[in-house]
Amino acid sequence: MPADKIQLPERMFHPKSIAVVGASSSAAETGWVKRLLDFGYKGEIYPINPKVKEIQGLRAYANICDAPDPIDYAILNVPARSTPQALRDCVAKRVKFVHCYTAGFSEDGNDEGKRLESEMTKMITGSRTRLLGPNCMGIYCPESGMTFSEDFPKAEGRIAVVSQSGAEASRLVLLCQDVNLYCSKVISYGNAADLDAPDFLEYLAQDTKTDIIAIYVEGVKDGPAFMSAVRKCRAKKPVVILGAGTTENGARAALSHTASVTWSQENWKAFFKQTGAIPALTTDETADIIQALTRIRKMSGQRVAIVGRGGGIGVVATDICERAGLKVPPFSKETQAKLGKIRPDAGAGLRNPVEPKLGMEGATEFYLRGLPIIDADTETDIILIQMAVDIYGGHGADLRQIMSESAYALCAAADSIKKPLAAAMFTGGRPETVLAAAAARDILTKAGIAVFTGVESAARAISRIPIAKP
Amino acid sequence: MPADKIQLPERMFHPKSIAVVGASSSAAETGWVKRLLDFGYKGEIYPINPKVKEIQGLRAYANICDAPDPIDYAILNVPARSTPQALRDCVAKRVKFVHCYTAGFSEDGNDEGKRLESEMTKMITGSRTRLLGPNCMGIYCPESGMTFSEDFPKAEGRIAVVSQSGAEASRLVLLCQDVNLYCSKVISYGNAADLDAPDFLEYLAQDTKTDIIAIYVEGVKDGPAFMSAVRKCRAKKPVVILGAGTTENGARAALSHTASVTWSQENWKAFFKQTGAIPALTTDETADIIQALTRIRKMSGQRVAIVGRGGGIGVVATDICERAGLKVPPFSKETQAKLGKIRPDAGAGLRNPVEPKLGMEGATEFYLRGLPIIDADTETDIILIQMAVDIYGGHGADLRQIMSESAYALCAAADSIKKPLAAAMFTGGRPETVLAAAAARDILTKAGIAVFTGVESAARAISRIPIAKP
């Protein structure tokens, strides 16, 4: 791979200077300039706006060519019809990366939009300027202080997201934040008129700050390049892909969204088989798989031990796991006998699933005394704690404290458990329970325990984790 | 059907007197007596406990036979080994219904449990006493003030639940309450040693206070009776069934839970085809289907119009709907032209899915101006509003107000819309957003608009609604 292929994106995520072409002069709205300042971008910012002298305390320039210094990264925030001239100026200024935020190009499906996009592509051909977009949100990189949403966390993490959709990328960032997982680099790349998924993936494959790569893609323009790039990533780290637009009208919607020609389910199936990438059907599932890959220790098999209160809930949880391709076999006789000693009144609820005593206190006690027994069971490979806090969480003023104490007990117990372990916490919608559960989830996920919103999402994610070779 | 088959359950839900055999004398714990008193049960309560004179201000009796008046309903809360004697006393007292809360019978899988259960069944044979359970939570009937959980709402509704699992019944009651749906009668019936699902269903088929019946069943002891009872219900009202234990280990877990021999997926498939009952795979799905049946007007077809912000989110929502068996076709040219007039800058986002302007304000405006246009569209049958409030809900002090205002606008718009309509609101886990969304959901569901937690749950539920014949 040519050196510049690797170096270029590095500068894209860490530009020394950013120009905002069409910077908003309104004090009321949060424009690109204010967002970068607020988020802590440390490089130089050059607002470009011919109508004002100053934006957010920074000197504004009438044209990007008037900026006194070299520009690494320019954001085009001008109407679609004005973008060719703005891009022409960027090329003249030798801007390294132009992020065209503006929409209204090939995705509109009309001749004018296609013509404009094609004009832009021709304009950069042979130049030193690369184009990101059009019709995209650009870069989020907490390390360098770049963001496209003021809602994103400033914390740095080790997940990279390569997404044609800005909205799905945003949802993924926030869903990860909910469980204390953070990103290294996020790229929303829209129509991919120039820079495309393979360009980013070639870089992320060798990015030492990225452990997992999640991709949301509607159209693959260059199949072999995409496959080659995903394979390079896969050689070093897991890759999760949401291939959108696989149904008849999903494909039509994708054409309207990013002018993408999508792959069929069959195409994707073959692709996943050949690359070892992990498929996801929704962004929520992508977040679940990321959490499973990050926090669930290597599994030696797919036999699940289910721990949690509720006989019928246990039966349904077992069905859900088995439908997801996992197994929920009975514990060994030895394990059942040991469990019977600490729960002599449990009756049948000792065989897997196993039921702790009632309430969060019962759960807490079982984490400390029961989990070590299940850890030694020979018939199961992974422990799934199901917490129906909607009916067993308790209530009243001390709800939050009781649930938090139970979470700390599980953290303590998990420390000495060798088997991989995960939790499914379902809350229902009662605000009091939701808030107490959020506090408990925070404790658990900060301690590195995967917490899912239900058995269904947990089982789907667990079923996607590769099995460790003995 | 013999008259007593109908009359008996009526008295079961509205007993004039309840005896609690093994009533707790502890002031600290919430026992059956305190629960009934707190919940507003209006009949006579007779605590039975030989060790004390008074429980919760009520005179306690050493034995049920000492109670001065006839007993309609007795709750057995004594150890399993003491239940035969307690039941013998109930039979002598001519108690109409005995609810055996105690567990540790045939579900334990040991000979002693089986023997005890068989002894109890023999004891009531030929008597006037019917047995509910053992190993079950019994009755929740807000109209009469009977409950098995202090968390249940006192509000009466029109949903009946017949469930072998007390925990799944409880989850369903609370999931319904989250969306302002309430129950008429809930029966947790456990091992079904005597009274079984068909007994309750025969009654509920003609219960004028019940519009929808949800069933959670692990084992069907008498297939023809169950089918006949479900058919009688189906002739008058929709029936949703979660048949649990359909996988290998799910079946094993059900045997441990309620000593049930479960049906295979093939059995259920044939059953659903023959009865027209609606299948659900989880209790969350049962709640979703109940909401869809209650609140989504009759659909003349399964073509969905998707309204909501986010290009990629729209593509994924389309895929989800189509995978669930629905269709998301393009709007008619006329509809697209009309939408283009109110959203001239929307570009491609007018074809279905359709994108309102940014933020909750954009959504609000579209509900009022855009929904009437989609209502007149000839190519779609139902409107699904998808609200990605996790990224578009906004934030800050006025978050709750903005989301509530938008909800009120949707209620107003929905009033004049003829097409069936539903909303999918996904919040992520940020407490601030979750609480604001809960307030908005409350407004919407009180106005009779179905609100689901995501497009996946909405699409699954919508796909299960029967299509109205023209």
pLDDT, tens only, A52-86: 999 999 999 999 999 999 999 999 999 999 999 99
For residue A133, pLDDT over 80 is answered with yes
Query: B319 CB near a chain A CB, below 8 Å?
Result: yes
CB–CB contact A431 B434 (8 Å) = yes
CB contact under 8 A, B171 and A438: no
Nearest by CB to residue B250, choosing from A218, A318, A345, is A318
- Indicate yes or no: CB of B429 within 8 angstroms of CB of A441: yes
Helix (H) or strand (E) holding A133: none
Residue A2 has a pLDDT of 43
SS3 A22: coil
The mean-pLDDT minimum among A243-257, A289-303, A343-357 falls in A343-357
Answer whether residue B416 shows pLDDT above 50: yes
In angstroms, the CA B358 to CA B373 distance is: 19
**Nearest CA among B227, B215, B250, B289 for reference residue B459:** B289
| A441:B428 CB<8 A | no
Which pLDDT does position A8 carry in this prediction?
Answer: 66
Tell me: pLDDT of B2 over 70: no
| Identity at B183, one-letter amino acid code | C
Chain B nearest C-alpha distance from A67 (Å): 31
- The 3-class SS string of chain B reads CCHHHHHHHHHHHCCCEEEEECCCCCCCCCCHHHHHHHHCCCCEEEEECCCCCEECCEECECCHHHCCCCCCEEEECCCHHHHHHHHHHHHHCCCCEEEECCCCCHHHCCHHHHHHHHHHHHHHCCCCCEEECCCCCEEEECCCCECCCCCCCCCCCCEEEEECCHHHHHHHHHHHHHCCCCEEEEEECCCCCCCCHHHHHHHHHCCCCCCEEEEEECCCCCHHHHHHHHHHHHCCCCEEEEECCCCHHHHHHHHHHHCCCCCCHHHHHHHHHHHCCEECCCHHHHHHHHHHHHHCCCECCCEEEEECCCHHHHHHHHHHHHHCCCECCCCCHHHHHHHHHHCCCCCCCCCCCECCCCHHHHHHHHHHHCHHHHHCCCCCCEEEEEEEHHHHCCCCCCHHHHHHHHHHHHHHHHHCCCCCEEEEEECCCCHHHHHHHHHHHHHHHHCCCEEECCHHHHHHHHHCCCECCC
Averaged over A108-136, what is the pLDDT? 92
pLDDT score of B190 more than 70? yes
Asked if A47 and A23 count as a contact pair (C-beta separation under 8 A), the reply is yes
Question: Hunting for tokens 């934006």 — which residue is that?
Answer: A55
Give the nearest chain A residue to B151 (CA atoms). Answer: A391
What is the least distance, in Å, from the CA of A40 to any CA of chain B? 20
Entry pTM:
0.95
Backbone angles phi, psi at A39, to 5 degrees: -80, -10
pLDDT at residue B373, rounded to an integer? 97
Look-up: residue for tokens 């600290």?
B28
Neighbours of B412 (CB within 10 A): 13
Q: Which residue of B has its CA nearest to A441?
A: B429
Give the SS3 label for residue A117.
helix
Pairwise CB contact (< 8 Å): A318 & B104: no
Q: Quick check: B395 contacting A, CB < 8 Å?
A: yes
Chain A contact set for B438 (CB, 8 A): 429, 431, 434
d(CA B453, CA B61): 49
Report the distance separating Cα A106 and Cα A83, nearest Å. Answer: 14
**CB proximity A242 to B under 8 Å:** yes
* C-alpha radius of gyration, chain A, whole number: 25
* DSSP character string of A441-465: HHHHHHTT-EEESSHHHHHHHHHTS
Is the pLDDT score of A1 beyond 50?
no
- Map residue A214 onto helix, strand or coil: strand
Q: Tell me whether residues B438 and A434 touch, CB distance under 8 A.
A: yes
Residue B140: HSE in the Cβ half-sphere, 13 Å Cα cutoff:
32
| Cβ–Cβ below 8 Å for B253 and A328 | yes
**Chain B CB contacts of A313 below 8 Å:** 165, 167-168, 171
Displacement of CA A113 from its chain's centroid (Å): 31
The nearest alpha carbon in chain A to B436 belongs to A431
Asked whether the predicted pLDDT for residue B3 surpasses 70, the reply is no
H or E element, residue A386: strand A382-388
Is A314 in Cβ contact with B257 (below 8 Å)?
yes
Interface A-B, measured as beta-carbon pairs within 8 A, has a size of 238
How is residue A146 written in tokens? 């770049």
pLDDT tops 50 at residue A3: no
**pLDDT over threshold 90, residue B106:** no
A470 preceded by cis ω (within 30°)? no
Query: Does residue B328 belong to the interface with chain A, where contact is any CB pair within 8 Å?
Result: yes
Pairing of strands A130-132, A138-140: unpaired
Quick one: pLDDT at residue A346? 58
Does the bond joining B353 to the residue before it have cis omega, within 30 degrees of 0? yes
Averaged pLDDT for residues B368-394: 94
* Contact assignment for B391 to A242 by CB distance below 8 Å: no
Q: Which chain A residues are within 8 Å of B437, Cβ to Cβ?
A: none
Task: State the average pLDDT over residues A414-424.
Answer: 96
Residue-level pLDDT at A347: 61
Block residue for tokens 């399964």: B302
As given in the structure block, the two tokens for residue B5 are 């088959």
Q: Do A283 and B316 touch (CB under 8 A)?
A: yes
Contacts of A352 in chain B (CB under 8 A): 249, 253
When pLDDT is cut at 50, 70 and 90, the band that residue A379 belongs to is very high
Residues sharing a CB contact under 8 Å with residue B27, sequence separation 6 or more, in sequence order: none
Give the lowest-confidence range in A4-18, B38-52, B151-165, B233-247: A4-18
Query: Mean pLDDT over residues A439-446, rounded?
Result: 97
Residues of chain B found within 8 Å of residue A104, distances taken between Cβ atoms: 347
User: How far apart are alpha carbons B198 and B213 in whole angstroms?
Assistant: 12
Nearest by CB to A319, which of B178, B247, B426? B247
Residues of chain A numbered 207-226 and touching chain B (CB < 8 Å): 216, 218
Percent share of chain A, pLDDT over 90: 83
Whether A247 and B348 lie within 8 Å, measured CB to CB:
no
Please, are residues B454 and A171 in contact by the beta-carbon 8 Å criterion? no
Highest mean pLDDT among A93-97, A390-394, B400-404: A93-97
Strand runs (DSSP E) across A101-256, as ranges?
Answer: 130-132, 138-140, 159-163, 183-188, 212-217, 239-243
Q: Is B346 touching A (CB cutoff 8 A)?
A: no
Produce one character per residue of A377-400: b if its CB has 16 or more CB atoms within 10 Å, e if not. bebbbbbbbbbbbbbbbbeeeebb
Q: Is A244 on the interface with B (CB under 8 A)?
A: yes
Residues of A in contact with B348 (CB under 8 A): 107-109, 256-257
Instruction: Say if residues B179 and B441 touch (Cβ distance below 8 Å).
Output: yes
Asked if the C-beta of B449 comes within 8 angstroms of chain A's C-beta atoms, the answer is no
Taking the Cβ of residue B283 and every Cβ of chain A, the question of whether any pair is shorter than 8 Å is answered with yes
* Averaged pLDDT of chain B: 93
Examine the pLDDT at A441 and tell me if it is beyond 80: yes
* Residue B5 pLDDT exceeds 60: no
Backbone angles phi, psi at A396, to 5 degrees: 95, -175
Nearest to A247 among B248, B249, B319 (CB): B319
For chain B, the maximum distance between any two Cα atoms, rounded to a whole number of angstroms, is 81
Provide the angle, in degrees to the nearest 10, between the axes of the packed helices B283-295 and B166-178: 40
Q: A164 and B108: CB-CB below 8 Å?
A: no
- Do B330 and A175 make contact, defined as CB atoms within 8 angstroms? no
* Helix, coil or strand: residue A68: coil
Q: Tell me: the pLDDT tens digits for B221-272?
A: 999 999 999 999 999 999 999 999 999 999 999 988 888 889 999 999 999 9
Residues of B in contact with A149 (CB under 8 A): 391
Cβ within 8 Å of residue A182, ≥6 positions away: A142, A153, A155, A156, A157, A158, A159, A176
Does pLDDT of B154 surpass 80?
yes
Contacts with A162 from chain B: Cβ below 8 Å: none
**Are the beta carbons of A328 and B249 separated by less than 8 Å?**
yes
Length of chain A: 470
Q: What pLDDT score does B6 carry?
A: 47
Q: Tokens representing B113?
A: 């449990």
The predicted structure's pLDDT at residue B347: 61
Q: Is the pLDDT of residue A391 over 80?
A: yes
Q: pLDDT for B273-283, tens place per residue?
A: 999 999 999 99
B33 against B260, higher pLDDT = B33
Helix (H, G, I), strand (E, B) or coil at A213: strand
Residue B420: pLDDT above 90?
A: yes
- Residue A203, classed as helix, strand or coil, is helix
pLDDT given at position A7: 59
For an interface test with A, the pick among B319, B351, B379 (most A C-beta atoms closer than 10 Å) comes out as B319
Q: What is the ipTM of this complex?
A: 0.94
Nearest CA in chain A to B169: A312
- What percentage of chain B carries pLDDT values higher than 70? 97
> Chain B contact for A175, CB < 8 A?
yes
CA distances from A398 to A146, A310, A334, B60, B152 (A): 41, 23, 38, 33, 19
pLDDT value at residue B26? 82
Considering chain A, what is the average pLDDT of its residues? 93
The backbone torsions φ and ψ at residue A201, rounded to the nearest 5 degrees and listed phi first, read -70, -40
The residue of B249, B361, B426 whose CB has the most chain A CBs within 10 angstroms, and thus the best one to mutate to test that interface, is: B249
In this structure, are strands B183-188 and B138-140 parallel, antiparallel, or unpaired?
Answer: antiparallel
- For residue A337, give the nearest of A290, A288, A377, A385 by alpha carbon: A377
Interface of A with B in 103-162 (CB under 8 A): 103-104, 107-109, 113, 149, 151
Chain A contact for B171 (CB, 8 A cutoff): yes
Range ranked top by mean pLDDT from A421-435, B102-116, B179-193: B179-193
pLDDT at B346: 58
